A and B are shown apart, each in its own frame.
Chain A
Amino acid sequence: MLNLPQIKPVHQHPSLGDLATIRGRLQTAQGPEYWRSLEELAGSQEFQEFLHREFPQQASEWQDAMGRRRFLQLMGASLALAGVSACSRQPDEKIVPYVRAPRGGMVPGKPLYFATAMTLDGVALGVLAESYMGRPIKIEGNPQHPASLGATDAFAQASVLTLYDPDRAQAVTTQRGQISTWNAFLTTLRTALEAQHLKDGAGIRLLTETVTSPTLVQQIHTLFTRFPGASWHQYTPVNDHTVQAGARMAFGKDVTPLYHFEKANVILALEADFLASGPSTLRYAHDFAQKRRLPGTSTAMNRLYVVESSLSLTGAIADHRLPVRPSAIAGLALAVARALGVIANGSATIQAQVAPLSRLAPYPPASEMQAHWIKTVAEDLWQHRGASLVVVGRQQPPLVHALAHAMNNVLGNVGHTVVYTTPVAAQPVDQLGSLRTLVEDMAAGRVELLVILGGNPVYTAPADLPFAQHLIRVPLCLYLGLYANETSALCQWHIPETHYLEAWGDARAYDGTVSLTQPLIAPLYNGKSAPELLAALLEQPEQSGREIVQEYWRSQYEGADFDQFWRRALHDGLIADTAFPPQEVQLRTDWLAEAATPAAPSPGLELLFQPDPTIWDGCFANNGWLQELPKPITKLTWDNAALLSPATAEWLGLSNEAVVELRLQGRSVRAPVWIVPGQADDVVTVHLGYGRWRTGRVGAGTGFNAYTLRTSEAFWAGRGLEVHPTGERYLLATTQHHHSMEGRHLVRAGTLQQYLEQPYFAQEMSHIPQPQETLYPPQDYEGYAWGMVIDLNTCLGCNACVVACQAENNIPIVGKREVQRGREMHWLRIDRYYKGPPHQPEVYHQPVLCMHCEHAPCEVVCPVYATVHNHEGLNDMVYNRCIGTRYCSNNCPYKVRRFNFLHYAETHTPSLQLLHNPEVTVRSRGVMEKCTYCVQRISAARIQAQLENRTMRDGEVVTACQAACPTGAIIFGDINDPSSHVVRLKGTPLNYGMLTELNTRPRTTYLARLRNPNPALGDAPG
């Protein structure tokens, strides 16, 4: 058997030379030694190597020098027909045991799971991290955590890659770039603080993102007791200040609305992407799905109306979606409110308020249509008083939020579908104002010591606040951040921040639940956590993060046995019963007085800012998995674009990839155009987070910087946008070029009504008569027979499964150029189809992975048995046997197979090899690969069951995609077990197989998508 050099998995035990040594050190070291050994590591040759290493997705064809040499050896060998004798001597392999056996009941070769929490914009998501021989390699959801309930989003899945990212800041640097040490930093800090003591710290400023961590807050308060003159500023580019302001306007105090979608039958969402954007989406998506799914006999299904300007995932699953420009939504909300009797009819009539919503919207005339629409929606909401809900997104002005509160109040939803709690932000402030005052202070030279904890304000600050130029003048500026970025470049000191998998900490989840963060690995890059840095500011630098967090909670805990409480908390990853209780709120009577009625939308183009669906505000810019993750709607990778509606594009005479100059209030940026059906006319949507000018090798040179147009008044949306074609073109990389189903019944959809009348409509759709008879003898699968069902009715297209699959199966990224060539490697892709008129299409998502056909067309044509069936009906892919004829892919009607056209696998960067899942082979160049139903998980479960002399239970094997899915749209199990969930679902009328007319007998089937349109509005999506 030829030992294939390219195939180099990180094995259960250290296998590769360099890796072995690294991991050897990681393992053998304990506590402080561990620490030291990592510093040694930093000095070691292989470490240096990976610091200066090209990334896989830059995989220029010649880049793979190793491969070339290896290849020549192999060629020589096989040409000399030694190949036939398989020159099967394997290279010697080193194996490195521990010096002292690890604590914590770790069994070599078996993974451990630890509960911890990831924060995004300060708000926590509880997760379980899978640790393999001391290496965190995979993130799963924490079932006990209210924000997760076992699910994860794409960001959490991809966060492990950031942990091992060799581009992360490696050392304390000073003078904008010189390598220094933590101790040198402490000395500087001490002198600075002494100076400040004299003036009560009047020169001290602290700039953070939104902070929810009780520990951190307490530290900050201690800091201010020492330095009364100091002040604390918060700024997060994607913040909720509109939500806060809205609540304050309506109730006169700081409260946050928490929604209970599981109780809502009719939902009106105003520019609210509550299913896919924000810290609570996983929970909301889960709750929403409760009312969406049709379990067995129940026929109750909620109805979702969405009014938004840019097609979002929430809009995509809506039963009725009305695309209107941002500025028109206020008027529309006002109209609904008026229709609901929230406000007495003022001077303005609905007509006046609403028209002109859109100059370009085709038939029927905007005003009429919308008048009817508004009336119907209002009635529907009214009929479901107490079980209806009006939700508003952060892009909308406070007024609209206030209106929503008022409407929910009138509809009697408060206390049922919506409750109000204390904001999770420890100190909810108007972050824009907060930043502005800081800038003013800097300008006035009042700031002598500026401490920036995380974030990247130089890049994300509004363009009208000259943050950067004043920052340079600050005498001493300390920055704590994961990466050397735009901000670190302008700060005297940059302290590398720890990744959440390396650090102790705590943070509140969307509902206030305190979630604990605990490290799974000692800081790889010498990092410090925010609490540790604050400890240094409090002149207790010796305090470890562990002590800080533990001490805080010891002080908070009244109970008897703290250690037990603490152990429990760490085990669960959260502190029980810390969620904020609902508050009584009273709608102010005069709230509307101070609310200026919104100006009727001016003609002309508008600009809408949105956090990027895959790299958010730019903090994930250097994460290859997220960069290459197709954006849910546009299917773009590696870039952002100016999103236009087809009509607007036509009116401006623009086509895809045409570069335009966007001008807003004297600022301008050049951006490529991408036309999106369902986008409201006259609106250009741009995603934040791209166009970074100081970032790692992955993020460098991707997209354009939308922040350059973003000012504090045009923070979410701006009017008077000018679009100037430049005549240039910029090539974008999309993973889907064709958006129509060509009348093929791939995604089968119907209305609830249709389903009630004709439950089997989906199965009857298949227009080609299905051959039930076959020439092949039946294959009987005794024991287990694996199968999957994907519920299109609850699939949101949120991409969590895609990244989960990538993380679980060591799927490489290939880079923009290869994506353009159509060579992306995702085993699980989400197809997105449009149906109906381009300005108001129905949108369908369909996750497509290997169907594991019982009559697999791919297997028959493989000349070397590289893909065959196993005894449980899996369609095995044997990488080490594959010679790469690619015939299987040609013969796969679902095109789910992926081929390593070049050497894509990451086999050179040691730090990234630590990330590899040792249970899955790393594929070499020239090898076909595809979804395996996570065969490694099946094997593990099978063996475990047999060791315990039992059979596998239903739900014991959970595929990576299934585990990640927030709505439980993916169900996997044994189709030989009549009691299994998957069998139950396959029995339902909605179950159908894709392309079954080819007699492929797929093991993966779908549940048809149902929509629940309001008869009064007709079947039209609008």
Chain B
Amino acid sequence: MAQIFHPSTNTIARVSILGAVFIFAGLLWLMAALNRSSYATEEGVVRQQPIQFSHEHHVGGLGIDCRYCHTSVEVSAFAGLPPTETCMHCHTHIWSESPFLAPVRESFRTGQPLVWTRVHNLPDFVYFNHSIHLHKGVGCVTCHGRVDRMPLMSKTQSLQMEWCLACHRAPERFVRPREFVFSMDWQPQEDQRTLGQRLVQEYHIAKLTTCSICHR
């Protein structure tokens, strides 16, 4: 019989076998990476909103407290979204003619609500409660980032389960004194660990990682 294969096939065969291993490993890595990439988590993604609302201006600039708009954040699971009314408190007086605010005035007149697109959107089978997190000393910034520096709102955290667990497993790494939960620029005066451990004691923060804490 004559040769069926060219001498080069030997190399090709070996290389392809070796390559297959690498490609497979590579694929696995790629998936893991994709899952955590901002493509999947939508970190930093700015969404189309009815109004170009700037937290930077209102929080950073004017220093309006979070609770002025997100009224129920301390008492309810849901932080609350300001009714058009709230906007109009000020905007009947200032920028009352601004074209940017036309939708707000429209809504106020017609009674048709503004329809926003959620930026921090957990899956529907996850039950998150704002009030208790604040009460235990989790700052707004910890999960929402420096909104006072965001002209347009976007996520800064992945909000994936492993991210939640990171804090639920080691709260001392993230908690802060209650009085500073709404502060944008709070920095621990002492070592976060020691502070954290003290607060965990003080606030009776349990490391809750069982399923029904979030899923029911």
Chain A min CB distance to B75 (Å): 6
The answer to whether A88 has its CB under 8 Å from any CB of chain B is: yes
Q: Which of A865, A919, A932, A943 has the most CB of B within 10 A?
A: A943
The CA of A9 and the CA of B123, in the complex, are separated in Å by 10
A-B pairs under 8 A by CB, number: 170
Return the chain A residue nearest B130 by Cβ: A109
The answer to whether A351 has its CB under 8 Å from any CB of chain B is: no
Contact A943 B125 (CB under 8 A): no
The CA of A98 and the CA of B113, in the complex, are separated in Å by 6
Contact A27 B31 (CB under 8 A): no
Chain B min CB distance to A783 (Å): 8
Contact A99 B111 (CB under 8 A): yes
Q: Which of B31, B112, B114, B118 contacts A85 (CB 8 A)?
A: B31
The answer to whether B135 has its CB under 8 Å from any CB of chain A is: yes
Chain A min CB distance to B77 (Å): 5
The answer to whether A1 has its CB under 8 Å from any CB of chain B is: yes
The answer to whether B186 has its CB under 8 Å from any CB of chain A is: no
User: Given A4-B123, A871-B208, A943-B132, do A97 and B83 touch, yes or no (CB 8 Å)?
Assistant: yes
Q: Which of B40, B86, B116 contacts A95 (CB 8 A)?
A: B116
User: Given A85-B35, A100-B83, do A94 and B78 touch, yes or no (CB 8 Å)?
Assistant: no
Contact A92 B72 (CB under 8 A): no
Contact A94 B113 (CB under 8 A): no
The answer to whether A898 has its CB under 8 Å from any CB of chain B is: no
The answer to whether A28 has its CB under 8 Å from any CB of chain B is: yes
Determine the chain B residues whose CB is within 8 A of the CB of A939 once the complex forms.
127, 129, 212-213, 216
Chain A min CB distance to B51 (Å): 12
The answer to whether B63 has its CB under 8 Å from any CB of chain A is: no
Chain B min CB distance to A61 (Å): 25
The answer to whether B82 has its CB under 8 Å from any CB of chain A is: yes
Contact B123 A880 (CB under 8 A): yes
Determine the chain B residues whose CB is within 8 A of the CB of A101 once the complex forms.
71, 83, 85-86
Determine the chain A residues whose CB is within 8 A of the CB of B125 once the complex forms.
4, 7, 9, 879-880, 921
Q: Which of A8, A28, A881, A943 contacts B113 (CB 8 A)?
A: A28
Determine the chain A residues whose CB is within 8 A of the CB of B86 once the complex forms.
101
User: Given A98-B83, A108-B72, A109-B77, do A935 and B212 touch, yes or no (CB 8 Å)?
Assistant: yes
The CA of A96 and the CA of B118, in the complex, are separated in Å by 10
The answer to whether B182 has its CB under 8 Å from any CB of chain A is: no
Contact A11 B210 (CB under 8 A): no
Contact B76 A27 (CB under 8 A): no
Task: Give per-residue flags for B44-88: 1 if the beta carbon is below 8 A from chain A beta carbons, else 0.
Answer: 000100000000000000000000000110011110111111100
The answer to whether B142 has its CB under 8 Å from any CB of chain A is: no
Task: Give per-residue flags for A854-886: 1 if the beta carbon is below 8 A from chain B beta carbons, else 0.
Answer: 000000000001001111001010111100000
Determine the chain A residues whose CB is within 8 A of the CB of B212 once the complex forms.
870, 874, 876, 878, 932, 935, 939
Contact B83 A92 (CB under 8 A): no
The CA of A11 and the CA of B76, in the complex, are separated in Å by 13
Return the chain A residue nearest B109 by Cβ: A99
Contact A84 B123 (CB under 8 A): no
The answer to whether A821 has its CB under 8 Å from any CB of chain B is: no
Return the chain A residue nearest B129 by Cβ: A943
Contact B35 A920 (CB under 8 A): no
Contact B108 A99 (CB under 8 A): yes
Determine the chain A residues whose CB is within 8 A of the CB of B40 once the complex forms.
85-86, 88-89
The answer to whether A78 has its CB under 8 Å from any CB of chain B is: no
Q: Which of B72, B124, B132, B208 contacts A921 (CB 8 A)?
A: B124
* Cβ < 8 Å to B, chain A residues 31-49: 33, 37
Contact B117 A935 (CB under 8 A): no
Contact A936 B216 (CB under 8 A): yes
Contact A98 B210 (CB under 8 A): no
Q: Which of A30, A110, A919 has the most CB of B within 10 A?
A: A110
Contact A110 B83 (CB under 8 A): no
Chain B min CB distance to A70 (Å): 14
Determine the chain B residues whose CB is within 8 A of the CB of A94 once the complex forms.
115-118
User: Given A90-B121, A946-B132, do A97 and B112 touch, yes or no (CB 8 Å)?
Assistant: no
Return the chain A residue nearest B205 by Cβ: A946
Determine the chain A residues whose CB is within 8 A of the CB of B20 once the complex forms.
none
Q: Which of B72, B85, B111, B160 contacts A107 (CB 8 A)?
A: B72
Contact B35 A86 (CB under 8 A): yes
Q: Which of B30, B47, B129 contacts A92 (CB 8 A)?
A: B47
Determine the chain A residues whose CB is within 8 A of the CB of B118 once the complex forms.
92-95
The CA of A545 and the CA of B89, in the complex, are separated in Å by 35
User: Given A13-B81, A88-B35, do A97 and B75 touch, yes or no (CB 8 Å)?
Assistant: no
The answer to whether A989 has its CB under 8 Å from any CB of chain B is: no
The answer to whether B197 has its CB under 8 Å from any CB of chain A is: no
User: Given A97-B81, A99-B112, do A870 and B210 touch, yes or no (CB 8 Å)?
Assistant: yes
List 7 A-B pairs, Cβ < 8 Å: A7-B124, A28-B112, A88-B41, A90-B121, A881-B211, A932-B216, A939-B129
Q: Which 3 A-B pairs have the closest CB atoms?
A: A109-B78, A870-B210, A98-B83
Where the two chains meet, the residues of A that have a C-beta atom closer than 8 Å to any C-beta of B are 1, 3-4, 7-9, 11-13, 15, 20, 24, 27-30, 33, 37, 81, 84-86, 88-90, 92-101, 107-110, 783, 865, 868-871, 874, 876, 878-881, 919-921, 932, 935-936, 939, 943, 946-947
